[in-house]
Chains A and B, each alone.
Chain A
Amino acid sequence: EAEVAQSPRYKITEKSQAVAFWCDPISGHATLYWYRQILGQGPELLVQFQDESVVDDSQLPKDRFSAERLKGVDSTLKIQPAELGDSAMYLCASSQQPQGARDEQFFGPGTRLTVL
């Protein structure tokens, strides 16, 4: 069964360091999402891609976060510099249909980030 892959699964870093997370969506899925899930809360959307284009990054803290999906397939989310408050689970999801379609999102296992 096709799955969304994420790596690393766990990352521990010190504040002010740079970190990067990778996501490989299900093959053929045009839309890719990055979510942040703080412990004890539900996921919150950070950025949405349609192919290689950013559709919505209104909740992405652009002073330190960046995301790219250069070839419209896999994606990287970067934080530089990391802050203590960035400790969270970072989830990637993909869906087959373009934005606006009522299509199911498939989630990866997430990357748990701890900033010391």
Chain B
Amino acid sequence: AQSVTQPDIHITVSEGASLELRCNYSYGATPYLFWYVQSPGQGLQLLLKYFSGDTLVQGIKGFEAEFKRSQSSFNLRKPSVHWSDAAEYFCAASSGGSYIPTFGRGTSLIVHP
């Protein structure tokens, strides 16, 4: 079955430190891949997406993600975290002609001052 796995439920980092959130997918072919952020009390916002081409994808708010086919991974990174980055992060994937994503369970990012 198609699935998206985010192995870390919580991640705690200090402000200014680098960040990497992990995401693995299980699909028959390379899916479309997405990262969303959800701040408390708000809906989801798309950070970045990968369809094809360059495996390093730049997104909004200084985030980037790298697609690694050999590892079935699409990890999200940011070189220097800001306190305002504290939120829930969701990795998602879709396949075929559909844009309907399957979401991972999310990773909660906690930022210490």
A interface with B by C-beta (< 8 Å): 4, 9, 33, 40-45, 48, 56, 91, 93, 95, 99-105, 107-110
On chain A, the residues within 8 Å of B41 by CB distance are 9, 109
Tell me which residues from 73 to 102 in chain B have a Cβ below 8 Å from any Cβ of chain A: 90, 92, 97-102
B interface with A by C-beta (< 8 Å): 4, 32, 41-46, 49, 51, 90, 92, 97-106
List 24 A-B residue pairs with CB atoms under 8 Å apart, sorted by A's residue number: A9-B41, A33-B100, A41-B106, A42-B4, A42-B102, A42-B104, A42-B105, A43-B44, A43-B90, A43-B103, A45-B100, A48-B100, A56-B100, A91-B43, A91-B44, A93-B43, A93-B44, A99-B99, A104-B46, A105-B99, A105-B101, A109-B41, A109-B42, A110-B43
Contact A100 B98 (CB under 8 A): yes
On chain A, the residues within 8 Å of B102 by CB distance are 42
On chain B, the residues within 8 Å of A91 by CB distance are 43-44
Q: A41-B105, A42-B104 are in contact. Are A102 and B44 (CB under 8 A)?
A: no
Give the residue name and chain of the B residue nearest to A44 (CB): B103
On chain A, the residues within 8 Å of B44 by CB distance are 43, 91, 93, 107
Across the interface, A42 reaches (CB within 8 A) one of B45, B97, B106, namely B106
Contact B51 A102 (CB under 8 A): yes
On chain A, the residues within 8 Å of B106 by CB distance are 40-42
Distance in Å: Cβ of A83 to nearest Cβ of chain B:
22
How many Å lie between the Cα of A43 and that of B17 in the bound state? 29
Residue from B4, B44, B51 having most chain A Cβ neighbours under 10 A: B44
On chain B, the residues within 8 Å of A110 by CB distance are 42-43
Q: A4-B43, A107-B43, A107-B44 are in contact. Are A42 and B90 (CB under 8 A)?
A: yes
On chain A, the residues within 8 Å of B97 by CB distance are 100
Contact B100 A103 (CB under 8 A): no
Give the residue name and chain of the A residue nearest to B104 (CB): A42
Residue from B51, B92, B99 having most chain A Cβ neighbours under 10 A: B99
How many Å lie between the Cα of A100 and that of B100 in the bound state? 8
How many Å lie between the Cα of A99 and that of B99 in the bound state? 7
Contact B99 A102 (CB under 8 A): yes
Distance in Å: Cβ of B57 to nearest Cβ of chain A:
14
